[in-house]
Structure 1
Amino acid sequence: MKDAQLADIYKEQLFLQYARIGKCLSSERRLEILNLLSNGSKAVETLAHQSGMSFANVSRHLQVLLEANLVKFTKKGTYVIYSLANPLVAEFLMSLWKISEHQLSDVPRLKQNIYEQYKNVRTISKKDVLKRMKTGSILVLDIRPKDEYETEHIEGAVSVPMEELDGYLQTLPQNTEIAAYCRGPYCVFTTQAVEQMQKKGFKAYRIEEGVYEWRTS
């Protein structure tokens, strides 16, 4: 076989392998599952609850992700716990979000449309948060589920999942200043939490970064 033919065969087979990843990621539901797993390992039941999908649908999508080696699993008693197969998968997801925001006009438009519903919610920069954390003049809340907080969180942040926020706020002095974060720039939960805190009279801010963005910025 000639060198040119060998090169063509190699190239074709190589791009077929790349296409396996591309085909796997062509489902918005599988992207959502990967996004959830980028915040920590989760049981199938948890993925179903947090994504709003049925157990059966989540299981089918996980099988496709397994075949592409994008996720892995372990067993803990009767539960099957899934996680990203490699930190590179999380890095790829972050790159995909950035490319989409830069190249697809609908992405920033969708983001703008949702945040226009919360015009009174203010954002605070990482620099200002770090400065004020050093002086103890601001409280940082992680409003993600506790399992995600336990996997990784911003140093000094307190875990207060959304469903516990009301009760927690009742324990704080009214003059407490708060900054909250969730799963990153596209997570609406942070904005909703900050609005909730503002309505109760607290001076509250939204941190746009999630844990990954905070760590890598």
Structure 2
Amino acid sequence: MTSRQDLFDTLAQVGKALGSGHRLMLLERIAQGEASVETLASTADLTVGNASAHLQHLRRAGLVTATRCGKQMLYRLTDQRIVTLMGLMREVAETNLAEMERLVSRMFPDANPDGALEAISRDELLSGLNSGDVALLDVRPEEEFEAGHLPTAINIPLGQLESMLDELPRDREIIAYCRGPYCVLSHEAVQRLRKLGYQVRRFDEGFPEWKAAGLPIH
């Protein structure tokens, strides 16, 4: 006979699978679009063997699925609600863990004299897109952009930013975004563009959160 303990033990499998920083990094990358174990290993700075082991934990917990494409295994999220779950984890940690607050403030300092790290919320971004007052800059790698992106976004990977400035408008505010709230790509892009005289801010979320909210993507 099934007991309440059995139910909670099964539920705990999800918590155990999420109990690794490396697995959370893998999930953040998979949330951009399906990816091979080699790509995921590179993103999370893991060996292919270690990445495969972490991915098996995520599969057993029902968080990712895998399909074979030739000799490669491609991984994808099983459910967009996983992005929401990770967002809730982040909010709880930032609210209740002093260490989390300290780490975030060190990685993304708020006391920035030129305001380069000022962020725009989802609602503000929607309003700016509807009015035509903003232009979107996606600074993720090209393969992630091709897997899905916000409508009308221009893709300029961070490493190509200075060589593709002609692609950026000067008559509108630019909103840069990348993989999510802890992705450093958009922060770096904003800082560089501010120094070049562009009016630019970053989106305080990323592509996965936008998609999980049911908003339009291309």
Question: TM over 0.5, yes or no?
Answer: yes
Relative distance call for 1:198 and 1:38 in structure 2 (3 A) is same
Structure 1: gaps of 5 or more residues = 1-5
Matched AA of 1:10: S
| 1:138 is aligned to 2:134 | yes
Output aligned runs, 1:1-217, within 5 Å: 6=1, 10-116=3-109, 119=112, 120=114, 121=116, 122-172=118-168, 177-215=173-211, 216=213
Relative distance call for 1:88 and 1:130 in structure 2 (3 A) is closer
* Contact 1:44 1:82 (8 Å CA) reproduced: yes
Shift of 1:208: 0.9
* Contact 1:118 1:191 (8 Å CA) reproduced: no
How many Å separate the matches in 2 of 1:191 and 1:124?
12
How many Å separate the matches in 1 of 2:82 and 2:127?
32
Deviations 1:123-164 (A, max 9, x none): 234444444434544321011223332333222211222222
Structure 2: gaps of 5 or more residues = none
* Contact 1:144 1:159 (8 Å CA) reproduced: yes
* Contact 2:83 2:209 (8 Å CA) reproduced: no
* Contact 1:175 1:202 (8 Å CA) reproduced: no
Tell me, what secondary structure is at the counterpart of 2:151? coil
Matched AA of 1:55: V
Matched AA of 2:47: S
Greater RCO, CA 8 A, separation 6+: 2
How many Å separate the matches in 1 of 2:119 and 2:63?
33
* Contact 2:135 2:169 (8 Å CA) reproduced: no
Identity of aligned residues (%): 33
TM-score (norm 1): 0.84
TM-score (norm 2): 0.84
Relative distance call for 1:12 and 1:131 in structure 2 (3 A) is closer
